[in-house]
């Protein structure tokens, strides 16, 4: 019944921005980062990024490292963003050779997932979109996109692997094809396979002005399509990838309520960019924050929150916040 916590491995290392491609910190080796992850209270899962963390050459080594640290592979995130060839898209790239290469990359990642005893790929096709008006044939590119996802999904289905599509309204392109939750449901329905669902990154949703509780509810209504969760915080205007709870409060509590209410029992995974902060400390803080929210939810009880929500009264909700969330 307890929530399961995970971490994207690279969050613990160095992260760069467009002005300082070396990043602001020193890079740690993977063994150290895995040890750090496993030392955080109740963290039992790790997400691995293709190219950066894992490829065919180090699967065995990585599997051993995870076992040594009592960690499961929560997901593989195939590399669809960190190679020059993906610069104009992966599934929706104008060049057919690139589209084929993208599908091949995903299939390879599916095989790796199977070796890692992991049943989930988290796809973030952030390069699929466009930057300028009058520079894309939206219908053609979206058709390519759906074809690519479908081919991967059919392959994954045979291997008992699920695909979670992670949406984000923009960056690195000014407009992404998987922009918001409903855009992603639309694509999931176009693909039409059971093993294709959605990953909500809370920060991506916040920057698109979504109420994440509602997004979770929408995915429930779309046929239990929430497959994965990434957590971080921001100021609503950009994917700042900050520590959970550094800005907002009530929305996180609401998210935990809706996750439980809709029967979500998969990973609560941390996805941040601690550019200048200690990665381990930043990730640990996020996990502990969510565990505080989880404890409050346990203590208050689901039924009492359901009754509150049913009152639809901001004043009752404010009373609840002061009495149950704030010290």
State which residue, 113 or 293, has the beta carbon closest to a second copy.
Answer: 293
- Closest distance of CB 167 from a second copy, Å: 10
Q: How far is the CB of 143 from a second copy (least distance, A)?
A: 8
Nearer to a second copy, 86 or 227 (CB): 86
SS3 164: strand
**Minimum distance between the CB of residue 73 and a second copy, rounded to whole angstroms?**
22
Q: How far is the CB of 120 from a second copy (least distance, A)?
A: 21
Sequence-distant contacts of 90-98: CB under 8 A, at least 24 apart: 90/125, 90/127, 90/128, 90/148, 91/125, 91/128, 91/144, 91/145, 91/147, 91/148, 91/149, 92/125, 92/128, 92/129, 92/141, 92/142, 92/144, 92/145, 92/148, 92/177, 93/127, 93/128, 93/144, 94/141
Q: Which is nearer to a second copy, 104 or 250 (CB)?
A: 250
- Closest distance to a second copy from the beta carbon of 35 (Å): 18
- Spatial distance between the Cα atoms of 204 and 279, rounded to a whole number of angstroms: 20
Q: Least separation, in Å, of the C-beta of 229 and a second copy?
A: 17
- The set of residues, in sequence order, having a beta carbon less than 8 Å from that of 154 and lying 6+ positions away, is 193
* Crossing angle of helices 59-68 and 30-39, rounded to 10°: 30
Q: Which is nearer to a second copy, 104 or 321 (CB)?
A: 321
* Identity of the residue, 7 or 116, whose beta carbon is nearer to a second copy in the bound complex: 7
| Cβ-based nearer residue to a second copy, 61 or 138 | 138
């Amino acid at each position: 019944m307890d929530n399961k916590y995970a971490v994207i491995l690279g969050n613990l290392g160095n992260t760069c921005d467009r002005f300082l491609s070396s990043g602001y910190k020193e890079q740690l080796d993977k063994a150290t980062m895995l040890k750090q992850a496993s030392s955080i209270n109740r963290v039992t899962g790790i997400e691995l990024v293709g190219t950066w963390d894992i490829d065919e050459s180090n699967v065995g080594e990585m599997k051993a490292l995870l076992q040594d640290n009592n960690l499961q592979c929560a997901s593989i995130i195939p590399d669809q963003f960190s190679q020059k060839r993906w610069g104009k898209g992966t599934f929706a790239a104008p060049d057919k050779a690139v589209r084929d290469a993208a599908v091949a990359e995903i299939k390879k990642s599916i095989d790796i997932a199977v070796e890692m005893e992991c049943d989930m790929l988290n796809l973030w096709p952030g390069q699929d979109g466009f930057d300028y008006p009058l520079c894309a044939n939206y219908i053609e590119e979206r058709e390519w996109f759906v074809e690519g996802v479908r081919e991967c999904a059919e392959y994954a289905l045979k291997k008992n692997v699920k695909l979670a599509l992670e949406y984000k309204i923009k960056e690195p392109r000014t407009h992404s094809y998987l922009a918001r939750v409903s855009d992603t449901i639309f694509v999931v329905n176009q693909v039409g396979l059971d093993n294709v669902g959605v990953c909500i990154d809370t920060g991506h949703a916040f920057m698109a002005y979504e109420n994440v509780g509602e997004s979770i509810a929408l995915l429930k209504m779309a046929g239990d399509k929430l497959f994965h969760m990434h957590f971080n915080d921001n100021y609503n205007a950009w994917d700042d990838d900050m520590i959970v709870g550094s800005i907002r409060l009530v929305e996180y509590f609401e998210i935990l309520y809706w996750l439980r209410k809709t029967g979500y029992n998969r990973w609560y995974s941390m996805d941040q960019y601690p550019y200048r902060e200690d990665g381990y400390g930043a990730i640990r803080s996020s996990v502990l924050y969510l565990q505080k929210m989880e404890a409050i939810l346990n203590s208050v009880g689901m039924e009492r929150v359901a009754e509150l929500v049913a009152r639809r009264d901001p004043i009752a909700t404010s009373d609840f916040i002061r009495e149950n969330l704030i010290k």
